[in-house]
């Protein structure tokens, strides 16, 4: 073979006890892989546990397949253990006695991914599992596995996985189950559309795209064969798969989305009856999902794929009903609005900050006059219009006014963008126009970001309701481009102007006045709360809520709003900086991968990218998150108490010029919180039990 085999006897442990929990088993298997020199134990175990935290890897049939891509792996490997004491890996039918640790190199090529997915798909077959349980020696296990992933001694560089070929019919398009013991598994039945057989398309995907993606596809295919239903799958994973064709989509009765991540090319299925779930449900209940998909196809009011509204209308669907709960849908809509709003805030806020840098702090009063009466060839009198311009230069005064004006224009889209994309998340494209208008109304009436949130939700819900109307065929094409935007804008905009905007504006004024009136203990308490929120989920909904509160207040231009922005930004910088400091002070407490992440976290933290701490928090949340929250709370409180201010919404240490001379207070607050969090991380990491270390278990 041109490259080392994925499995060898030294990677196999038969009839061993690796512990009582799946964490202990994974660490034990990582130790087995490391004992052969193929990986670094702690790094592999940490990455596999991060993946395990996203979704359990226990499967029906008493086996588990923890897996990951890891920089700690230098040779792609399969570690295998047959346990004397079965361990719970989250399967619905009980504990697992067979465990494969699929260790893929982080930079590994697609060919090794294909071989690893071959193993995952073979485990679906009962005969293969029986053979593994009856094997007497490690050599027998190696032979069984190699027959699956490396048949006839084919080297990884040339081995292939059946990923679908439209020319061979629907069975090949789904990706056949891989050969076992050299014999090809039976292909999925693929009758022609004219035979009367019902057809379902299934999209499967998991976060790593190695195992669950393909196993779910095969479980659905096998269930379809037993039920007499053509199941055409498109596994969106590591191995290349031919996408389903337009003709297959057209003849499909329904689609199944069994994914833990977004569906690539979702718009292809707009208007089709749909059943959605996580990827594990397709493994546990494939027949139930196929039955539900066919039932949705027979129900005129059943759920439909959400996508391009025009395409959905053309397909005969006036609306698409999500299967998510209303609470989850609204949460997703709010996060969508925030994510689309942030670029406006970042661009506008930084441009305004640069305007202050070039034009001086008093450019706010004269920028409009300069832009109206001056140009690049007719520069303003800096002494009169911008006495604090950089270098007292007329050119700098003009550039400052230009940048300040551009920034203000970008910030002017903050509320419309927030509301518009909330509407978009709920009703797709028809929700954008009424949402933008509702956001503009919120800005014009003083209802602020709270008004934009409410207006966006109303706009999206109204647009979705109108889209659900059953209209004549001739009118369907007009619905998404004329009727829905017109009526939804009228209803949501009218409600905002006539009923909601004024009370919300009063509430916003009360909040603003309360914020401006905060002094002493109250403003410090606000800093504590904001600091805790920024460090709680590192870029998640709670973090985003605190950031939205700060950035939305910048439009007020008040001293208190600048203080809030500084506190939020400072606290958000603490987690990555604290982990960077902790890995530098006590590297032995961290894996080699974490040490590399720690070095990168210096820059991430300095740039106000809280997500730089996520790899650490995912691997050890009970120690990392509380430690960083304490430091973030201290930083937020200290920043507020000292009076640090920031006119820029992003940029961290790179926008110190936008802090009105309070930059040293800002940096001091960060330094104190960073040191506190780093010390807590080190202390908590030092209290780990010895079992946390990955044991190097000898192969039986």
Residues labelled catalytic = 67, 206
Alpha-carbon torsion (57, 63, 68, 70), positive or negative? positive
457 neighbors 333 (Cβ within 8 angstroms): yes
Strand partners, 80: 12, 100
DSSP-derived secondary structure for 686-700: HT--GGGS---PPP-
Instruction: State whether residue 173 is helix, strand or coil.
Output: helix
- CA terminus-to-terminus distance, the chain: 26
Contact 106, 50 (CB under 8 A): no
Which tokens belong to 292? 């539900």
The closest alpha carbon to 678, from 560, 610, 531, 579, belongs to 579
* Beta-strand pair 199-205/77-87: unpaired
Tokens 């797709």 sit on residue:
428
CA-CA distance, 459 to 478, in Å (whole number)? 19
d(CA 285, CA 413) in angstroms, rounded, equals 46
Is-contact 591 43, C-beta < 8 A?
Answer: yes
Q: How far apart are CA 368 and CA 406, in angstroms?
A: 11
Alpha carbons 579 and 252: distance in angstroms, whole number: 51
Pairwise CA distance, residues 171 & 177, whole Å: 10
The tally of CA atoms less than 13 A away on the side-chain side of residue 620 is 23
Are β-strands 254-259 and 199-205 bridged in parallel, bridged antiparallel, or unpaired? Answer: parallel
Do residues 413 and 475 lie in contact, with contact meaning Cβ atoms separated by under 8 Å?
no
């Amino acid at each position: 073979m041109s490259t080392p085999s994925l499995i060898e006897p030294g990677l196999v442990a038969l009839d061993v006890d690796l512990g009582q929990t799946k964490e202990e088993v994974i660490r034990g298997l990582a130790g087995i892989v490391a004992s052969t020199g193929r990986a670094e134990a702690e790094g592999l175990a940490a990455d596999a546990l991060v993946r395990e935290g996203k979704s359990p890897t226990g499967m029906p049939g008493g086996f588990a397949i923890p897996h990951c891509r890891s920089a700690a792996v230098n040779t792609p490997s399969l570690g295998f253990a047959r346990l004397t004491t079965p361990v719970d890996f989250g399967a619905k039918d009980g504990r697992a006695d067979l465990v494969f640790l699929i260790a893929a190199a982080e930079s590994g090529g697609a060919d090794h991914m294909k071989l690893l997915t071959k193993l995952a798909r073979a485990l679906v077959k009962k005969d293969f599992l029986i053979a593994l349980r009856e094997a007497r020696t490690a050599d027998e296990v190696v032979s069984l596995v190699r027959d699956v992933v490396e048949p006839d001694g084919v080297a990884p560089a040339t081995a292939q996985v059946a990923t679908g070929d439209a020319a061979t019919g629907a069975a090949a398009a789904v990706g056949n189950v891989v050969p076992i013991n050299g014999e090809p598994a039976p292909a999925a039945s693929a009758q022609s559309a004219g035979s009367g057989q019902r057809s379902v398309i299934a999209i499967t995907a998991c976060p790593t795209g190695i195992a669950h993606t393909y196993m779910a596809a095969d479980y659905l295919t096998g269930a379809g064969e037993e039920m007499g239903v053509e199941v055409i799958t498109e596994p969106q994973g590591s191995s290349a798969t031919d996408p389903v064709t337009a003709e297959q989509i057209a003849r499909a009765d329904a689609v199944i989305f069994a994914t833990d991540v977004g569906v690539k090319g979702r718009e292809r299925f707009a208007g089709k009856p749909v059943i959605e779930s996580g990827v594990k449900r397709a493994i546990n209940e494939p027949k139930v999902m196929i039955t539900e998909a066919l039932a949705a196809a027979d129900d005129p009011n059943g759920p439909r794929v959400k996508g391009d509204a025009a395409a959905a209308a053309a397909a005969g669907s006036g609306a698409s009903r999500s299967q998510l709960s209303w609470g989850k849908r609204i949460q997703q809509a709010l996060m969508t609005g925030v994510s689309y709003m942030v670029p406006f805030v970042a661009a506008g806020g930084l441009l305004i900050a640069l305007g202050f840098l070039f034009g001086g702090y008093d450019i706010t009063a004269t920028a409009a006059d300069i832009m109206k009466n001056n140009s690049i060839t007719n520069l303003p009198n800096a002494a009169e219009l911008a006495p604090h311009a950089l270098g007292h230069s007329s050119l700098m005064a003009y550039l400052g006014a230009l940048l300040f004006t551009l920034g203000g224009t970008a910030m002017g889209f903050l509320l419309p963008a927030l509301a518009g994309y909330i509407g978009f998340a709920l009703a797709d494209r028809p929700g954008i126009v009424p949402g933008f208008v509702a956001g503009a109304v919120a800005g014009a009436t003083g209802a602020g970001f709270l008004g934009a949130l409410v207006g966006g939700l109303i706009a999206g819900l109204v647009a979705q309701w109108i889209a659900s109307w059953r209209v004549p065929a001739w009118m369907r094409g007009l619905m998404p481009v004329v009727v829905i935007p017109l009526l939804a804008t009228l209803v949501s905009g009218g409600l905002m102007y006539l009923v909601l905007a004024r009370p919300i504006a009063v509430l916003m004024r009360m909040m603003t006045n309360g914020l401006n009136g905060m002094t002493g203990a109250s403003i410090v308490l606000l800093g504590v709360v904001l600091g805790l929120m920024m460090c709680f989920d590192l870029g998640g909904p709670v973090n985003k809520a605190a950031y939205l509160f700060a950035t939305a207040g910048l439009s007020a231009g008040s001293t208190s709003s600048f203080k809030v922005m500084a506190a939020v930004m400072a606290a958000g910088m603490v987690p990555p900086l604290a982990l960077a400091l902790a890995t530098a002070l006590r590297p032995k407490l961290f894996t080699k991968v974490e040490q590399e992440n720690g070095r990168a976290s210096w820059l991430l933290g300095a740039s106000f990218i809280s997500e730089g701490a996520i790899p650490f928090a995912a691997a050890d949340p009970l120690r990392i998150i509380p430690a960083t929250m304490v430091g973030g709370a201290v930083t937020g409180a200290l920043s507020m108490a000292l009076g640090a201010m920031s006119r820029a919404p992003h940029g961290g240490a790179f926008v110190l010029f936008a802090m009105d001379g309070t930059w040293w207070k800002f940096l001091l607050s960060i330094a104190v919180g960073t040191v506190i969090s780093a010390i807590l991380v080190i202390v908590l990491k030092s209290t780990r039990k010895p079992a946390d270390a990955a044991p190097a278990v000898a192969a039986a």
